[in-house]
Amino acid sequence: MEKTLVLIKPDAYTKGHSGDIIKIYEKEGFRIVAMKLMKMTKNLAQKHYVEHIGRPYYEELEEFMTSAPLVAMVLEGEDVIARVRKLNGKTNPAEAEEGTIRKLYAESAGRNAVHASDSPESAAREIHIFFNETEIYD
């Protein structure tokens, strides 16, 4: 079974949408194999968003992601990476399809409620930034 990292970002967490978002993933049949509430540090943000460091928007991204708690999860399921990304919707909620998580809960393209890994390689790297093997239940 494929795994992916999902982050319920500070905007969605502070507005009390975590449970609603988790319920959407569970209704889709994904299994939560790891989950924790945490506050992202600058060091963790730099590891997670390494490919974005130096880009014009990076400082704002880092500030946002470290501003409040977030929920980190590992979801498991068949074709979970592609299916979760479809469920999340386009980055800009104005362009996201009706019923997607971002259409329902995102504020803007920058405050877009959720993150999900975009490939098996990214998922493998990202999961282990947030979780060690003893925290993932197979």
- Residue 128's pLDDT is 97
Counted domains in the chain: 1
Enter the tokens of residue 97: 């399809």
Indicate the pairing of strand 114-116 with strand 31-38: unpaired
CB-facing half-sphere around the CA of 103: CA atoms within 13 A: 11
- Residue 138's pLDDT is 85
Q: Is the pTM of this model over 0.75?
A: yes
Q: Which domain CATH number covers 72?
A: 3.30.70.141
Active site residues per annotation: 115
By three-state DSSP, how is residue 69 classified?
A: coil
DSSP state of 15: T
Instruction: Please enumerate in sequence order all residues whose Cβ is within 8 A of that of 58, keeping only pairs 6 or more positions apart, or say none.
Output: 49, 52
Which residues are registered as beta bridge partners of 8?
71, 114
Integer Cα distance of 104 and 135 in angstroms: 30
Q: Which regions in the chain score pLDDT beneath 50?
A: none
By three-state DSSP, how is residue 77 classified?
A: strand
User: Where in the sequence is the domain holding 110, given as residue range(s)?
Assistant: 2-135
Crossing angle between the packed helical segments 80-88 and 18-27, to the nearest 10 degrees: 130
